[in-house]
Amino acid sequence: MFDVLIIGGGVSGMSCSLILGSAKNKSFVSDKKIGIFTHQKTSSLQEALFNNAYGIPSGKLGSDLLKESTGQLSATHPQILQIPNEKVLKIEGEFPNFTVITNRSNYNTKMIVIGIGAANTFAIEGLMQYVEPHKKSLPEKQRIQLKNDDHKVAEGIYVIGTLAGWRSQLAIAAGSGAAVATDILTLWNHGIQTHAHDSIR
């Protein structure tokens, strides 16, 4: 049983994973099992070029950033299980006992974070009732989002990045993933506000 499964290995999903991983030494996180589906083939980053993203050198290719991010997560937080090459098809159950069904296997988890793109090809069974038109995208693009209140779709289900209704900017996606990670940390810390910073001290 996972404590949280993150669906999507793009910016928002990786940001969420890195923040959760950074909290590994906190007593309320040390026993938590965290996983991320790192399927990246359809990520919008595959065709991206960055000249305007904070902390990233100009000319950086999104495709390189995707590869580097999974390597960074493995190197710094090997306790987080990366699940590559699996596509999520269906979600069953309710908090705190969900089943995530992929094209290859089934996984049980207490919470789910969804960080895949906002294309109208979204087809995860069990979440379709939350789909609505994207509120910050041009209508002709036919983008979608999941209905949410500050990233929360339903008890135990969170959405991040463009699928949460945010615009497609790397900094916004990273912040969205980090916001949900800190919400989860706060929940694990019995409601006491918390976050995770790495430090040279």
Give the pLDDT confidence score for residue 41 in this predicted structure.
66
Give the pLDDT confidence score for residue 185 in this predicted structure.
97
Give the pLDDT confidence score for residue 201 in this predicted structure.
78
Q: How far is CA 183 from CA 6, 26, 158, 196, in A?
A: 14, 15, 10, 11
CA dist., res. 29 & res. 189, Å (int):
8
Closest CA to 166 of 185, 181, 151, 183: 151
Q: What are the residue ranges in the chain where pLDDT is below 50?
A: none
Give the pLDDT confidence score for residue 39 in this predicted structure.
80
Q: Which residues lie closer than 8 Å to 168 by C-beta, 6 or more apart?
A: 44, 118, 162
- pLDDT digits 0-9 by tens, 70-91: 999 999 999 999 999 999 999 9
Q: Which amino acid is at 195?
A: H
Give the pLDDT confidence score for residue 47 in this predicted structure.
86
* Cβ(78)–Cβ(90) below 8 Å: no
Give the pLDDT confidence score for residue 31 in this predicted structure.
94
| Beta pairing class for 60-61 and 49-50 | antiparallel
Quickly list H helices, the chain. 11-22, 62-76, 170-188
Give the pLDDT confidence score for residue 129 in this predicted structure.
98
Give the pLDDT confidence score for residue 43 in this predicted structure.
74
